[in-house]
């Protein structure tokens, strides 16, 4: 039955002859382990083709969608992590295999005649593979690929005459964007793979024409093959040579499996950022299938950096490791010499490789063989050394257990800076991957980080507010490693806060601590202002610097008054605020921070209100606050109290902080006592009106012509507010941006 079928198939297609010809090809000199590299390369390339094909089904080549589609593949698509991981490490594996293959070729002298053409095809394959890596690196449209590609295309623009045109052709416009991505995509999925397939077929066919290069077969088996001889049957008569099947085929398969295991090991070890796995619709834990199919959330597979954002300052851009040598090379050729590193040396090397076969004619063959080995080996060694140097220059502690360490102080400084930037970038990448689990804005994944309170909000706080305010992380922040304590520093790096510590600002504990001792550095203790004489001039000390005094002392004096009265009550009828009253007030203020219809705990409200209102040295002498009245079953709110201190209604809420940022000198905030600049959007439409309104409602404090005002966009302000309040939902603009 089987034999009838195969006879039929053979008759109709000739497949059996073909398979036999493939498998029984002679291996002159016998099967050897060192012949496996070419097969491994073809094997890994076929994995790239298959996984790449799968990836195209989910990948979207547009600058706004590319990142989120790769995020989808990595974290949400069943086995996307595996497919992407294999593709990612496959490309790197090909780089390693190419080096080994080349080495094996020159050791055998296989670049020498009659195999020159195949050597050139090999060089073509090498270039196409480099091209595939380079183009593939950009496709996720993440920071890493984006900045690395900028570096790479800028290098090409150094080429004389045509350099800028090449760059323009690659970038497709004045800046890196959608056109760059679609061009790279077309190269990566169509032009380059097709070229590679054509070159590879030619490479294999021509290889079979001369067979492996061994001592027995230096000149090729059929130097004068008649032109009409079939390619597939040439070697049939070479029965004295061991056929490819089974020994060489077995060696090749074992090697391919070993290579595949390494790739699989890397994928399973995992280089992706872990994110929290979303629960099922009914809050169910993921089952075993989801756990495996979406193991990307546990960090399996390849890394995905945060989405590309060209507005990122000092992103630690580095090319993929197999391009690092070029990157390092460029460091040695700066200024006028830049062409040497970018053009002369790389092209010189390519030319040298191309002419290697010519050293194999006639009597030169021995020398040519040796010279080929020398060139390729020294090339690999130099590339290796340059790569090590590149790695060394980025590590302040050096590499290889500190054996290789830069001694240049400036390099070390840059290395430290680089490591710090790397850590920042890592944090952002992890955060972006986590945020995108809830979806990505259609405008592009870069908005995730740009509008993220936890990362961008924190940075903005440090830049805009952190010159005066500290921010101490609480126990939970520390446990979750969200951020470290922030302390303002002066020019010499000494701690120098001049305003309160806003970590936990406005919480019950914060108010309680303030009432205990308003002069703690956490509250008003750090606030200083210059001493002024009767003419309202700043008094300078002996060192020429302005003399400073406590900036805000009213609460401190009030607290001293309470302590004094507690020791020696003047009027026994007028009860003095006790610690329990402070507790009640703190609880009450916390309730007041909520929207009116969410203030529920009536007992706490009225207890706090009574304490706030009714005792000796009472709060409402100076502070206004919303007070509740019972009307039927509902609570009615009315503002009431003194006018000489900040309004404490909604104290600690986003609204209160917003008021403080936009109008710190408003009568509802610090009025004439204010020492803090205002922050508003002072650029663009509507800002003039806003600036005028600011100066109308923020009368200048003593000695100043006007209250200082700094630019802060609306979104930036909301990011800061959310970060202070530990509300980490991204801010996307629109109607209600903070609650």
- Positions touching ligand HEC (CB under 6 A) are 464-465, 467-469, 498-500, 502, 505, 511, 514-515, 518, 524, 527, 551-555, 558, 577, 585, 617, 619, 621-623, 645-646, 648, 657, 660-661, 664, 670, 673-677, 679, 720
* Shortest distance (Å) from residue 163 CB to ligand HEC: 46
Q: Based on CB atoms, which residue is closest to ligand HEC, 102 or 676? A: 676
Q: What is the three-class DSSP state of 218?
A: coil
DSSP for residue 296: G
Quote the radius of gyration of the chain (alpha carbons, Å): 36
Report the C-alpha gap between 27 and 523 in whole angstroms.
Answer: 84
Q: Based on CB atoms, which residue is closest to ligand HEC, 193 or 506? A: 506
Q: Based on CB atoms, which residue is closest to ligand HEC, 531 or 555? A: 555
Is-contact 570 621, C-beta < 8 A?
no
* Shortest distance (Å) from residue 694 CB to ligand HEC: 14
Q: Based on CB atoms, which residue is closest to ligand HEC, 111 or 674? A: 674
Q: Based on CB atoms, which residue is closest to ligand HEC, 275 or 511? A: 511
* Shortest distance (Å) from residue 468 CB to ligand HEC: 3
Q: Based on CB atoms, which residue is closest to ligand HEC, 167 or 618? A: 618
Burial, 600: exposed, middle or buried (Cβ in 10 Å; 0-12, 13-18, 19+)?
Answer: exposed
**Within a 13 Å sphere around the CA of 59, how many CA atoms are in the beta-carbon half?**
24
* Shortest distance (Å) from residue 663 CB to ligand HEC: 10
Q: Based on CB atoms, which residue is closest to ligand HEC, 203 or 559? A: 559
Q: Based on CB atoms, which residue is closest to ligand HEC, 79 or 616? A: 616
User: Pick from 198, 226, 228, 225: which is nearest to 210 by CA?
Assistant: 225
Report the C-alpha gap between 469 and 389 in whole angstroms.
Answer: 42
User: Pick from 553, 554, 562: which is nearest to 582 by CA?
Assistant: 562
DSSP for residue 297: G
Run of H or E residues at 680:
strand 678-680
Q: How many CB atoms lie within 10 A of CB 689?
A: 9
Q: Based on CB atoms, which residue is closest to ligand HEC, 59 or 679? A: 679
Q: How many CB atoms lie within 10 A of CB 603?
A: 8
Q: Based on CB atoms, which residue is closest to ligand HEC, 415 or 577? A: 577
* Shortest distance (Å) from residue 147 CB to ligand HEC: 30
* Shortest distance (Å) from residue 156 CB to ligand HEC: 43
* Shortest distance (Å) from residue 72 CB to ligand HEC: 36
Q: Based on CB atoms, which residue is closest to ligand HEC, 126 or 607? A: 607
Q: Based on CB atoms, which residue is closest to ligand HEC, 74 or 698? A: 698
* Shortest distance (Å) from residue 575 CB to ligand HEC: 13
* Shortest distance (Å) from residue 656 CB to ligand HEC: 7
Give 678's strand partners.
Answer: 709
Run of H or E residues at 6:
helix 2-13
* Shortest distance (Å) from residue 713 CB to ligand HEC: 12
Go through 341-379 and write b for each residue having 16 or more CB atoms within 10 A of its CB, e for each that does not.
Answer: bbbebeeeeeeebeebbebbeeeeeeebbebbbebbeeb
* Shortest distance (Å) from residue 457 CB to ligand HEC: 10
Report the C-alpha gap between 378 and 715 in whole angstroms.
Answer: 56
Pairing between strand 548-550 and 624-631? unpaired
- Per the structure block, which two tokens stand in for 48? 């790239």
* Shortest distance (Å) from residue 436 CB to ligand HEC: 28
Q: Based on CB atoms, which residue is closest to ligand HEC, 12 or 705? A: 705
* Shortest distance (Å) from residue 498 CB to ligand HEC: 6
* Shortest distance (Å) from residue 719 CB to ligand HEC: 10
Report the C-alpha gap between 291 and 78 in whole angstroms.
Answer: 10
User: Pick from 192, 175, 174: which is nearest to 184 by CA?
Assistant: 192
User: Which are the contacts of 673, defined by CB distance < 8 A and separation ≥ 6?
Assistant: 552, 554, 701
Report the C-alpha gap between 543 and 528 in whole angstroms.
Answer: 18
| Alpha-carbon 402 to chain mean position | 27
- Per the structure block, which two tokens stand in for 508? 């019950």
Report the C-alpha gap between 400 and 593 in whole angstroms.
Answer: 56
Q: Based on CB atoms, which residue is closest to ligand HEC, 212 or 648? A: 648
Q: Based on CB atoms, which residue is closest to ligand HEC, 448 or 592? A: 592
- The H helix count followed by the E strand count for the chain is 27, 8
* Shortest distance (Å) from residue 490 CB to ligand HEC: 13
Report the C-alpha gap between 155 and 175 in whole angstroms.
Answer: 15
What is the SS3 string spanning 519-586?
Answer: CCCCCCCCCEEECECCCCCECECCCCCECEEECCCHHHHHHHHHHHHHHCCCCCCCCCCCHHHHHHHH
């Amino acid at each position: 039955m089987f034999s009838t079928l195969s006879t039929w198939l053979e008759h109709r297609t000739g497949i059996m002859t073909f398979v036999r010809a493939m498998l029984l090809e002679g291996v002159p000199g016998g099967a050897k382990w060192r012949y496996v590299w070419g097969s491994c390369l073809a094997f890994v390339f076929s994995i790239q083709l298959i996984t790449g094909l799968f990836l195209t089904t989910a990948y979207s080549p547009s600058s706004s969608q590319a990142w989120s589609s790769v995020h989808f593949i990595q974290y949400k698509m069943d086995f996307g992590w595996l497919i992407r991981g294999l593709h990612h490490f496959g490309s790197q594996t090909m780089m390693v295999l190419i080096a080994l293959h080349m080495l094996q070729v020159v050791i055998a002298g296989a670049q020498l005649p009659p195999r020159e053409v195949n050597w050139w095809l090999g060089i073509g394959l090498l270039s196409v593979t480099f091209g595939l890596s380079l183009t593939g690196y950009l496709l996720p449209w993440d920071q890493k690929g984006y900045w690395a590609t900028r570096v790479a295309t800028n290098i090409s623009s150094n080429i004389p005459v045509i350099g800028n045109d090449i760059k323009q052709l690659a970038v497709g416009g004045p800046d890196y964007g959608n056109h760059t991505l679609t061009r790279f995509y077309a190269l990566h999925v169509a032009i380059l793979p097709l070229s590679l397939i054509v070159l590879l077929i030619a490479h294999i066919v021509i290889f079979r024409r001369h067979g492996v290069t061994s001592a027995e077969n230096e000149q090729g088996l059929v130097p004068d093959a008649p032109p009409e001889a079939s390619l597939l049957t040439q070697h049939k008569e070479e029965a004295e040579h061991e056929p490819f099947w089974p020994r060489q085929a077995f060696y090749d398969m074992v090697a391919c499996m070993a290579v595949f295991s390494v790739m699989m090991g890397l994928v399973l070890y995992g280089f992706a950022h872990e994110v929290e796995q979303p629960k099922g619709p009914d809050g169910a834990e993921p089952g075993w299938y989801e756990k495996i199919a979406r193991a990307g959330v546990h960090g399996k597979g390849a890394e995905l950096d945060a989405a590309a954002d060209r507005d990122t300052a000092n992103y630690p851009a580095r090319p993929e490791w197999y391009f690092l040598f070029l990157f390092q090379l460029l460091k040695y050729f700066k200024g006028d010499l830049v062409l040497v590193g970018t053009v002369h040396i790389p092209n010189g090397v390519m030319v040298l490789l191309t002419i290697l076969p010519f050293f194999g004619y006639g009597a030169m063959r021995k020398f040519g063989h040796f010279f080929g080995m020398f060139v390729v080996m020294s090339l690999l060694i130099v590339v290796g050394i340059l790569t090590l140097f590149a790695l060394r220059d980025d590590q302040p502690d050096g590499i290889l257990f500190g054996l290789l360490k830069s001694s240049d102080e400036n390099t070390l400084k840059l290395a430290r800076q680089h490591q710090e930037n790397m850590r920042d970038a890592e944090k952002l990448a992890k955060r972006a991957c986590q945020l995108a689990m809830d979806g990505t804005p259609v405008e592009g994944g870069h908005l995730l980080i740009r509008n993220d309170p936890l990362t961008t909000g924190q940075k903005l706080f440090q830049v805009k507010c952190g010159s005066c305010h500290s921010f101490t992380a609480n126990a939970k922040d520390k446990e979750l490693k969200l951020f470290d304590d922030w302390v303002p520093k002066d020019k010499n790096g000494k701690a120098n806060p001049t305003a309160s510590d806003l970590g936990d600002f406005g919480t019950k504990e914060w108010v309680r601590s303030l009432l205990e001792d308003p002069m703690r550095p956490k509250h008003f203790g750090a606030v200083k202002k210059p001493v002024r004489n009767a003419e309202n001039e700043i008094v300078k000390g002996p060192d020429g610097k302005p003399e400073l005094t406590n900036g805000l002392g009213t609460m401190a004096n009030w607290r001293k008054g309470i302590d004094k009265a507690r020791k020696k009550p003047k009027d026994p009828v007028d009860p003095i605020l006790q610690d329990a009253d402070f507790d009640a007030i703190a609880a009450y203020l916390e309730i007041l921070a909520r929207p009116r219809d969410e203030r529920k705990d009536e007992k706490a409200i009225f207890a706090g209100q009574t304490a706030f209102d009714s005792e000796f040295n009472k709060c409402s002498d100076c502070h206004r606050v919303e007070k509740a009245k019972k009307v039927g079953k509902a609570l009615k709110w009315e503002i009431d109290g003194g006018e000489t201190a900040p309004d404490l209604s909604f104290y600690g809420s986003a609204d209160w902080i917003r008021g403080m940022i936009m109008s710190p000198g408003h009568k509802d905030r610090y009025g004439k006592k204010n020492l803090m600049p205002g922050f508003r959007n002072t650029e663009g439409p509507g800002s003039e009106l806003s600036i005028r309104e600011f100066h109308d409602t923020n009368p200048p404090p003593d000695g100043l012509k006007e209250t200082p005002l700094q630019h802060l966009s609306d979104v930036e302000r909301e990011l800061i507010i959310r970060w202070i309040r530990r509300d980490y939902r991204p801010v996307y603009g629109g109607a209600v941006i903070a609650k």
